[in-house]
Structures are given as C-alpha cells and as structure tokens.
Amino acid sequence: MLLDASHLWKVYGEGDARVEALRDVCLSVEAGEFVAIMGPSGSGKSTLMNLLGCLDKPTRGTYRVEGEDVSRLSATDLAHRRNRTLGFVFQAFNLLPRTSALANVQLPMLYAGVPSKELERRARAALERVGLGDRLSHLPSELSGGQQQRVAIARAIVNRPKVILADEPTGNLDSKTSAQILELFQQLRDEGLTILYVTHEPDVAEYASRLVVVKDGRIAQDGPQTPKQAGPGVAA
Amino acid sequence: MNTWRTLAVALQALTRNLTRSLLTVLGVIIGVAAVIAMVSLGEGAKAKVAKTFESMGTDMLTVFSGSSFAGGARGGAGSQPTLTWDDLGAIRAMENVSMAAPQLSSQGQLVSPTANWNSRVTGTTPEWFHIRNWSLASGRFFEAADEAGGRAVAVLGKTVSDALFGEGVDPVGQTVRVNRVPFQVVGLLASKGSSAFGMDNDDVIVVPATTFNRRISGGLSKYLQGVIVVQASSGQTDAVRADLSALLRTRHKLRDDAEDDFAVRDLADIAQAQQQSAQTITSLLAGVALVSLIVGGIGIMNIMLVSVTERTREIGLRMSVGATPSNVLMQFLLEAMTLSVLGGLIGIALGLGAGQVMAMKFGFPVAVRPDVVVLAVVVSAAVGIGFGLYPARKASLLEPIAALRYE
C-alpha cells in the first residue's frame, strides 16, 4: 500500500472554538491510482489533502507512506518525505516570481542534492514532458495560467516522486485549459505515477478513475468510476 | 543542500529584489566606510604628529648643567656650570651618538645699517644645524674652519633677517653688529615657523662657539656656558640617555650616593603625549562610526523581517517541495550575510578612497590600518549573522501549510 491513512482526526481549537475538520477518516491508495477527492468547501477535503501530503500532522490516527508511519516524524524528516516521494500542484501555481520556468522547475532538486550538472538537463526534460520545451527561460509573468500550471506540474514530477498531490489544480483555469491539465494528469498516471487531486467541481472529478467524496469531515462515498477520456487534438 | 547551493539560492533571491537589496546594503556601506575613513584620518593625524616631532628631532637629547645650591636655595637647571668642553669631546666619542654640539645662548642687541633688533644669540659648532634639522634658504652654514679660527660670521633666522634688512631681502654678505661686534652674514636659515611651545624658531642668530666665547659672552675656559645637544642613532635614545648619565657621573667623579650634577632631557615624553591624544581622537571617531555600522545592521534586520513576511508563501512553497527548516534558516541567514559582507567590501573601498581624499585635503600622510580593514569585514559579517538570525529563525519556524495559505 502506497498511502494508508487510518482513523485520522484533525481538530482545531479548543472548547467552544473546537472544530473537527476530519473525523475518523480511513483512506488507502494503491500505486498507480488516479483519485479525485471531491466535496463542498469546508468539508475537510483540503485538510485531508494536507495530511496526505505530509504538510500537516493529524491530531489522532496513523498515516503510513510506503509503510512508514509519518504522523510522528519531525519537521525535517517530513520535509525529506515531501521532497522524495511527493510532488505538489497548487491552485495558485505558486511559482517563484521573476524566476525563469527552468529555475522554478529546478527548485525541488536543489533540496534533493541532485548534482549541479544534472539540474538543467532534468528540468529541461520535465518541461518538455509537459509541453513547454520552448518556454524554458520565460518568467511566470510571461506565461498564461495554463502554462504556469504546466510549469508547476513539471516542478512536481522533476524529482521523480511516486505521488502527485494537486489541490484544486484547475481552480484558476478556464474549462478548456482545465481539460488539458487533467488530460496531462491522465497521461502521467499512464506512465506510472499515482495522482490525487482535490476539487469541488463534479465535471473535473470525472477524469479520475476513483472518486472520494468528503462531507463534514467524513468520507461519504468512495468507489471506482469510469474516467472521462481525453478528447482528440488536445496537446499534452 | 550544501552551502554553495544555498548561497546561490540566496543570491538569486537578492537579485530578484535588486533595488531593495542595494538600498539595504547602503546602510552597511556607509557604516564601514565611516569606520575606515575615520580610522585612516586618525592614523594620518598621528603620523603627522610623529613627523612634526621628527623635524624637531625625536632622537635628540639635551644635556643641562646642574643647579646651583647656595644658602639653602636651589637654582634652576644650568645655573651651576658643570659641563666642560672635555665632556663634549667625550660625548662625541660615545657609541650610538652620531653628533653632539654645544649650544651657548645669550640675548644680544643686533644692529644693521638701517635697523636694530634684540634676539637670542646662539653659539655652537656646525653639527648643530644637522641635529636641529635646519636647512638653508640662502648662503651657507658656517664651517669647522670658521669655528676653529674664531671668525666673526653669522647665520640668521628669517625673523631676524626680516627685522634687520627688510622682508624678503637676502642678507648674505651684509654686516650685522652683535653687541657692537661686526659679524659677516654667510647664510639665511629656511623658516621653521613657531615651535610646539609657541616660540618663534626663526628669531635666532647663530655664530661659531669660539667666536661667541671670545666676542659676545666671555665664558670660563674650562666650563661650557650652555647645554649640549646630542643626536642619538635612530631608536637609540634610551640607551644613549643611560650611557650619558654613566659617562658624566664618572667624568664628574660623583660618589654613588651623590645626586647628578647634570640633567638629560629628550622629546620622547612630549611626543608620546601628543601621540596619545591623537589615539584618543581616533578611538572616538571609530566609536561614532561603529554606531553607524550598527544602525546599518538594524536596517538589514528590518528589511529581512519585511522580506520574511512578504515571502511567506515562497517559504511555504520551498518547504512543500522539500526545504527543511534548517535549509530555510540558512537561506535567510546567507541573504543577510551576503548583504552585509557586500556592503562591507564596498564600504572598505569607499572608506579607503575617502580617507585618501581627506588625507590630501588636510595634508596628512595616508595611513591605512590593515587590522581595521579586517575588523570591518568581520564586524559586517557579524552584523549580518547577528541581525539576520532573528528573521531567519522566524522564517524557518513557519508551518508549511500556514505559510502556503498566507495572503
């Protein structure tokens, strides 16, 4: 089992201000799965995503990544875990401003100790993989939203992680560009990556092969679905 | 992540905000430049004081006769002549003594064909001009032959010449009467201005010692009516001073429990006092400059704090892609240090330049203290670490998820 969360609780605040963001959530993900986590805002889906991404620690419960219990790891060990096993894609892209696409993509490798001579080659390969081989030296401000998200995806895959975690990856994009991004995810899944993404839009969730619905901090529905196929003529 | 790579990341972050980085650095530049320039200036002043004393002769010693003792009242130095012409000869033969000359003094009324003037008449030997660092404006010094022959020749100081023969007139070849004895003027001394004690060095007329004894102030044949000035070899003043005492005590046959019947003085004490006051000024200037360096450091801390707040999302992102808390700490620390060291280096260049310009303006010799330059670099790096640590630590303690969500 690649990711294995059992009986996760996440509680914020105390007394009257106590909020149970997650209540007794169990979720297992096998390698190669393509999972959409859907739910209305405030349902706890982002909290779940942060826990799965080792960005946050659960209040209770255990979470194993590749069999290792990470719910009690130190901040430094969690950072190593994020660096090597996980790749993140954010709604707001979160690229470094005034920094070229190539340098942005190199960022995770800097923290992984990749040799200097390999940095550029691998970053270039990752950008070519997402279809931006001709935009290497462009700054984020010179790229469209869809292109920026592709740079972010290149950054997420450049360290060869096992899992891509995407938090509302299409939230800032129009529907056509969104479709392109989701089809890129499908291709990456076909190449062996495991992908989880959070969305609140049902038509975005349709691209995944497994749908998890979160409501009021609990998993309300979890099952396989037939994914929507990539349309013809879509660049990847 | 190794340090070089962290440094590269820090430099990248700094160049992304170039204008702000340069303005931040400005505080340190001014601080370091001020320290270097002020210390250079102070050192220059010190060197100038030292040079001034050199022109008076720091290696010069003066030997006075003893004091008289009559009816319970002691006279001043030289009131009892105890130094003999033979003492002078013995001193001249001493090791580490390069020159020695008698210096006989009396006041005299000087008369030229057109004017008269009262001045100090000095009787001496030719060595005296060298010991006292005189140079000529015109003519010549009198020579050993003049001295041996007791010739009536005189060398005038500028003040005396101006008073007797008029401003700017060359007196060489003219005759001046000293206490009604005619002397031929053979030389005019270059002006030395006033002494450190406010006396006019140029108000002087110098004649051979033998002539002085015979024609101006009839002295005792054995005793020398004045002082002996001694030029020690460079840096040997203290040794010569001790040797002089021993020599004169032996020559004067003083018992072990008897007081000296002579006195030896040098300029080292005065020179030291002057150097010390210059040192105090240097320290004061450096202290003020150091304060401005600290102000520059606070400027760095301020900007780094703003930077941490402003770049919270960037920090969150770095953490999400694998930066550990210590990676983040090092990055911000290196950013602060880069700013301060860069400021330090530019400040050194600027400070040295400013020191150079001020030295020229004030006529000081340029004096750069390498230790101060090294200190400035160390202090500016320390400022970077000291004032960068708090913002850097603040950044490293951010929760990745809170940082990512920061608006």
* pLDDT single digits (tens) A180-191: 999 999 999 999
Q: Which residues of B touch A116 (CB under 8 A)?
A: 5
**DSSP result, A5-19:** EEEEEEEES-GGG-E
Quick one: pLDDT at residue A78? 92
Would you say residue A234 has pLDDT above 60? no
Task: Provide ipTM, 2 decimals.
Answer: 0.91
Distance from C-alpha of B382 to C-alpha of B290, rounded to nearest angstrom: 13
- Report in angstroms the alpha-carbon separations of A205 from A179, A200, A210, B298, B314: 11, 8, 9, 52, 29
Asked if the Cβ–Cβ distance from A113 to B2 is below 8 Å, we say yes
Beta bridge pairs of residue A69:
A64
Nearest-Cα distance to chain B for A231, in Å, is: 32
How does residue A235 score in pLDDT terms, banded at 50, 70 and 90? Answer: very low
User: Pick the residue with more confidence: B201 or B188?
Assistant: B188
What is the per-residue pLDDT across B27-73, written as a single tens digit (0 to 9) for each? 889 888 888 888 888 888 777 777 776 666 667 888 888 776 666 66
User: Stretch B3-12: mean pLDDT, rounded?
Assistant: 84
Per DSSP, A53 falls in state: T
Asked if residue A26 lies in contact with residue A212, where contact means CB atoms within 8 angstroms, the answer is no
Asked if the Cβ–Cβ distance from B318 to A55 is below 8 Å, we say no
What residues contact residue B332 under an 8 Å CB cut-off, 6+ apart? Answer: B10, B304, B307, B308, B388, B391, B392, B395, B396
Q: Which residues of A touch B327 (CB under 8 A)?
A: 79, 111
User: Counting Cβ atoms within 10 Å, is residue B200 exposed (0-12), middle (13-18) or buried (19+)?
Assistant: middle
Closest CA in chain B for residue A99: B16
What's the predicted TM-score (pTM) here? 0.68
How does residue A236 score in pLDDT terms, banded at 50, 70 and 90? Answer: very low
Nearest-Cα distance to chain B for A174, in Å, is: 22
Quick one: pLDDT at residue B182? 93
Q: If DSSP codes are grouped into helix, strand and coil, which group holds residue B344?
A: helix
Quick one: pLDDT at residue A233? 43
- B-facing residues of A in 156-175 (CB < 8 A) are 159
**Rounded to a whole number, what is the distance in angstroms from the first to the last CA of chain B?**
28
Q: Which residues of B touch A108 (CB under 8 A)?
A: 321-322
Distance from C-alpha of B79 to C-alpha of B263, rounded to nearest angstrom: 12
B15 — alpha (psi -120 to 50), left (phi > 0) or beta? Answer: alpha
Query: Please, what is the Cα angle at B186 between B180 and B189, to 5 degrees?
Result: 105
Would you say residue A75 has pLDDT above 80? yes
Asked if residue A99 lies in contact with residue A71, where contact means CB atoms within 8 angstroms, the answer is no
Quick one: pLDDT at residue B68? 63
What is the per-residue pLDDT across A129-170, written as a single tens digit (0 to 9) for each? 999 999 999 999 999 999 999 999 999 999 999 999 999 999
Give yes or no for A94 touching B (CB within 8 A).
yes
Q: Which residues of B touch A53 (CB under 8 A)?
A: 320
Place of tokens 């000359």: B101
Residues of B with CB under 8 A from a CB of A: 1-2, 5, 9, 12, 16, 313-314, 316-327, 399-401, 404
Asked if the Cβ–Cβ distance from A88 to B313 is below 8 Å, we say no
Distance from C-alpha of B63 to C-alpha of B225, rounded to nearest angstrom: 12
Asked if the Cβ–Cβ distance from B324 to A98 is below 8 Å, we say no
Write down the mean pLDDT value for chain A.
91
Per DSSP, B214 falls in state: I
Would you say residue B205 has pLDDT above 60? yes
How does residue B196 score in pLDDT terms, banded at 50, 70 and 90? Answer: low
Distance from C-alpha of A181 to C-alpha of A199, rounded to nearest angstrom: 13
Asked if residue A204 lies in contact with residue A178, where contact means CB atoms within 8 angstroms, the answer is yes
Q: What are phi and psi of A127, to 5 degrees?
A: -70, -35
Distance from C-alpha of A186 to C-alpha of A197, rounded to nearest angstrom: 12
Asked if residue B272 lies in contact with residue B265, where contact means CB atoms within 8 angstroms, the answer is no
How does residue B195 score in pLDDT terms, banded at 50, 70 and 90? Answer: low
Asked if the Cβ–Cβ distance from A76 to B400 is below 8 Å, we say no
Nearest-Cα distance to chain A for B384, in Å, is: 24
Asked if the Cβ–Cβ distance from A50 to B9 is below 8 Å, we say no
Query: Please, what is the Cα angle at B161 between B156 and B162, to 5 degrees?
Result: 155
Asked if the Cβ–Cβ distance from A111 to B324 is below 8 Å, we say yes
Q: If DSSP codes are grouped into helix, strand and coil, which group holds residue B215?
A: helix
Nearest-Cα distance to chain A for B332, in Å, is: 15
Distance from C-alpha of B358 to C-alpha of B37, rounded to nearest angstrom: 8
Distance from C-alpha of A37 to C-alpha of A66, rounded to nearest angstrom: 20
Of A56, A97, A107, the CB nearest to B321: A107
Helices A75-85 + A101-112 axis angle, to 10: 120
Q: What is the CA radius of gyration of chain A?
A: 18
Give all strands (DSSP E) within B222-330, no chain letters: 226-232, 262-266
How does residue A60 score in pLDDT terms, banded at 50, 70 and 90? Answer: very high
Asked if residue A174 lies in contact with residue A228, where contact means CB atoms within 8 angstroms, the answer is no
Q: Which among B264, B227, B274 has a CA at the least distance from the CA of B54?
A: B274
Longest dimension (CA), chain B: 107
Asked if the Cβ–Cβ distance from B327 to A80 is below 8 Å, we say no
Closest CA in chain B for residue A80: B322
Write down the mean pLDDT value for chain B.
84
Give yes or no for A80 touching B (CB within 8 A).
yes
Give yes or no for A155 touching B (CB within 8 A).
yes
What is the per-residue pLDDT across B144-179, written as a single tens digit (0 to 9) for each? 888 888 899 999 999 999 999 988 889 999 999 998
Residue A67: CB atoms within 10 A of its CB come to 8
Q: Which residues of A touch B325 (CB under 8 A)?
A: 75-76, 79
Place of tokens 């006092």: B273
How does residue A230 score in pLDDT terms, banded at 50, 70 and 90? Answer: low
- B-facing residues of A in 18-47 (CB < 8 A) are none
Query: Please, what is the Cα angle at B102 between B98 and B107, to 5 degrees?
Result: 145
A-B C-beta contacts closer than 8 Å: 69
